[in-house]
Chain A
Amino acid sequence: NAGVMQNPRHLVRRRGQEARLRCSPMKGHSHVYWYRQLPEEGLKFMVYLQKENIIDESGMPKERFSAEFPKEGPSILRIQQVVRGDSAAYFCASSPVGGNTEAFFGQGTRLTVV
């Protein structure tokens, strides 16, 4: 039973390019969370999605960031026109149901904007 799979593990983008981060939840999990970890800081909640629905995006920056979790395929976190301040580790977590059930984290995608 594979864990939460994130790819790519490392991503380098030039300023102004787009970054697409993918997350395949654990088998049977239909709830996905995205968190961002800036250097030397804790993780910050970005967005919570269920299949085909964004439930809570209160932690998402208002511009340039979007997320989706389609009926088929992985969840995608998309960052348009990246800036240096977007450089961070982006973690995806999944859980089988809602509530305070354990969410399992992937290994993260480390985005570097040059």
Chain B
Amino acid sequence: QQQVKQSPQSLIVQKGGISIINCAYENTAFDYFPWYQQFPGKGPALLIAIRPDVSEKKEGRFTISFNKSAKQFSLHIMDSQPGDSATYFCAASMNTGFQKLVFGTGTRLLVSP
């Protein structure tokens, strides 16, 4: 019940295309859903995050869509660029007084020129 399931494991998108990564969770106590971007040899960096009181959040080319009833959320990268090539992790945490993140297994995105 603590898991966050992420798909696909890897994704190849052409430059200018839309990259879509999906995550699903079981624990309805989760109330914070961030997405992290990780480049090889680096630590994860927060990209965008959402709380369950909204269904969508957009920041630049990155959008999170959130479906509370289905317990699913997804990351959309519009106009994907080669510089977006990285591993993306979804995560979730509960309001426990600190940020104890449960991470998905990651999606390796390759944007071809």
Residue count of chain A within 8 Å CB distance of chain B: 27
Given contacts A100-B32, A107-B42, contact A48 B98 (CB under 8 A): yes
Name B26-79 residues within 8 Å CB distance of A: 31-32, 34, 36, 41-46, 49
**How many A-B residue contacts, CB cutoff 8 Å?**
68
For residue A41, which residue of chain B has the nearest CB?
B105
Are A4 and B43 in touch, CB under 8 angstroms? Answer: yes
For this complex, 20 residue pairs linking A to B, each with C-beta atoms less than 8 Å apart, are: A4-B43, A40-B105, A40-B106, A42-B4, A42-B89, A43-B89, A45-B101, A48-B100, A56-B96, A56-B98, A98-B98, A99-B98, A99-B99, A100-B31, A100-B32, A100-B93, A101-B99, A105-B44, A106-B43, A107-B43
> Which residues of chain B have a CB within 8 Å of any CB of chain A?
4, 6, 31-32, 34, 36, 41-46, 49, 89, 91, 93, 95-106
> Which residues of chain A have a CB within 8 Å of any CB of chain B?
4, 31, 33, 35, 40-45, 48, 55-56, 91, 93, 95, 98-108
